Amino acid sequence: MTPHTPALQTKLPAVGTTIFTVMSTLAAERGAVNLGQGFPDFNCDPKLVQAVTDAMTQGLNQYPPMTGVPSLREAVSAKIGSMYGRRYDPASEITVTAGATQAIITAILAVVRPGDEVIVLEPCYDSYVPNIELAGGTVVRVPLVPGTFRPDFDRIAAAINPKTRAILVNSPHNPSATVWSRADMLRLEELLAPTEVLLISDEVYEHMVFDGDGHQSAARFPGLAARAFIVSSFGKTYHVTGWKVGYVAAPAPLTTEFRKVHQFNVFTVNTPVQHALASYMADPTPYLELPAFYQRKRDLFREGLARTKFKLLPSEGSYFQCVDISAVSDLPEAEFCKWLTTEIGVAAIPLSAFYGNGFDQRVVRFCFAKKDETLRTALDRLARL
């Protein structure tokens, strides 16, 4: 008999290789400085690595509780309470996840059913739309205001209807590096108050807000917290993106449904890493100092970019810097990024990749979560433009 692979009808017909993989591969092939994909090229605190080693040697290597190691959930609860003034019950309202991406798809699978609509604000992180489609939901795309990337509440309000199940909000924002203000969050709270719409609040860059501003977590606002899955990332906060550990904080009824899905898509998360994170969080200094750490890198990078033809857009939070390329090239964003990688030796990401329709506004994104010498090498190359 001839071996035969049965044909499949794809669940994600529009999905191919992500732009991050494409640009990182091209950067590696060309020996370019990779400022495209959002991950640090420097090591985390050696104390954190040692804490993982200690947990392993102490025999903490078997399954932890499905919901997460209790000491880590308690540490997360304490941090949220201290920073945002809301206490989440570690036992019933906090779940440790295999990274923020898993947290987001789990929340969506838990609450979205076929026929439900979910609002996404474009440009948006590339997992949101496929997650909604896998749940059988309908994606409703509402653009942030072009150029400023601020929320357009009139358009958001117009998109809400009885079929709306949830809205995804991301602040500090990837890719634009904008940050929602207190007034923005209050407006969202007011808008959602008369509805049954859930909020999935992607706050993975919560500790990277610059120039003295504070992160406006949904946890700060009772009307939002009561309907929100709040997602964050230890990987982003502690420079260990490859560890893929995050968490979700949500009211107990929402957490109950979240955990029903969580237990069957990952069940649980790396045990020694959880114990290490719990002990490391006893000292809040690393995340409290993170804004200053990344603001210095942002300022170094912006100072160098100011000597090029790029037009700098604001970088209020996250570890990204967007620039307008209009004075540098007539190429579309995606083609410009390929040219920049190949000819100049610096990789960036086109913002058009974050829009469903490929909207091109002549803007590309750099990541400055890199060693100073990496940033200086990139700036030396970009100075040729």
Distance from C-alpha of 191 to C-alpha of 185, rounded to nearest angstrom: 10
In this prediction, residues 127-141 reach a mean pLDDT of 97
pLDDT for the residue 306: 96
Judgement on whether residues 267 and 300 belong to the same structural domain of the protein: no
- Residue 21 confidence (pLDDT): 86
pLDDT at position 50, please? 98
Same-domain check for residues 191 and 333: no
Q: What is the DSSP letter of 117?
A: E
pLDDT at 146 over 90: yes
Is it the case that residue 17 has pLDDT exceeding 80? no
| Distance, first Cα to last Cα, the chain | 61
User: In Å, how far are 135, 179, 317 from 149, measured between CA atoms?
Assistant: 28, 9, 13
In a domain, 14, yes or no: no
pLDDT of residue 19: 81
Q: Which tokens in the block code for residue 99?
A: 């990274």
Share of the chain above pLDDT 70, in %: 100
Query: What average pLDDT does range 115-134 have in this prediction?
Result: 97
What pLDDT does residue 266 have?
A: 95
Strand partners of residue 105: none
Clarify whether residues 170 and 214 are in a common domain.
yes
Task: Give tens-digit pLDDT for 308-322.
Answer: 999 999 999 999 999
Domain end position, chosen among 224, 248, 282: 282
* Average of per-residue pLDDT values in the chain: 97
Instruction: Give the number of residues written for the chain.
Output: 385
**pTM score:** 0.96
- Say yes or no to pLDDT of 89 above 80: yes
Strand stretches in the chain, DSSP E? 33-34, 94-97, 117-122, 138-143, 164-170, 198-202, 228-233, 246-249, 311-312, 320-324, 346-347, 349-350, 363-367
* Structural domain count of the chain: 2
- Residues 371, 341 share a domain: yes
For residue 75, being part of any structural domain is answered with yes
Tokens representing 229 are 């899955």
> Does 4 map to a domain?
no
7 falls within a domain: no
What's the pLDDT at 14? 86
Q: Mark which of 282, 301, 318 sits at the end of a domain.
A: 282
What is the span of the domain harbouring residue 309?
19-38+288-382
> What one-letter code names the amino acid at 46?
P
CB–CB of 379/344 below 8 Å? no
Residue 363 resides in a domain: yes
How high is the pLDDT of residue 22? 86
In this predicted structure, what is the pLDDT of residue 37? 86
Does 322 share its domain with 255? no
Range 3-9 average pLDDT: 93
Give the whole-angstrom CA distance, residue 49 versus residue 277: 10
Q: How far apart are CA 175 and CA 217, in angstroms?
A: 18
Residue 180 in contact with residue 216, Cβ under 8 Å? yes
Q: Angle 122-127-128 (CA atoms, 0-180°, nearest 5)?
A: 50
pLDDT value of residue 174: 97
pLDDT in tens, 33-73: 999 988 899 999 999 999 999 999 999 999 999 999 999 99
As a whole number, mean pLDDT of residues 324-353 equals: 96
- Do 86 and 25 fall into the same domain? no
Beta bridge partners of 23: none
CATH code at 326?
3.90.1150.10
Identity of the residue numbered 81: G
Same domain, 278 and 305: no
pLDDT tens-place string over residues 258-311: 999 999 999 999 999 999 999 999 999 999 999 999 999 999 999 999 999 999
What is the reported pLDDT for 202? 98
Question: For a pLDDT cut of 90, what percent of the chain falls above it?
Answer: 95
254 located within any domain: yes
In this structure, the answer to whether residues 218 and 329 fall within a common structural domain is: no
Specify the CATH number for the domain of residue 239: 3.40.640.10
Interval 81-110 mean pLDDT: 98
Residue 23, pLDDT score:
87
Are 88 and 108 members of one domain? yes
> Which domain-ending residue is among 265, 282, 299?
282
26 and 53 share a domain? no
- Kindly state whether residues 292 and 344 are assigned to the same domain: yes
Given a cut of 90, whether residue 18 has pLDDT beyond it is no
Binned at pLDDT 50, 70 and 90, residue 16 comes out as confident
For residue 6, CA distances in Å to 1, 9, 16, 164 come to 14, 10, 20, 37
One-letter amino acid identity for 347? Answer: A
Query: What are the structure tokens assigned to 238, written together?
Result: 């502690």
Q: Could you tell me if residue 3 is inside a domain? A: no
Q: Please report whether residue 85 resides in a domain.
A: yes
Q: What is the pLDDT of residue 206?
A: 98
Q: Are residues 130 and 271 in the same domain?
A: yes
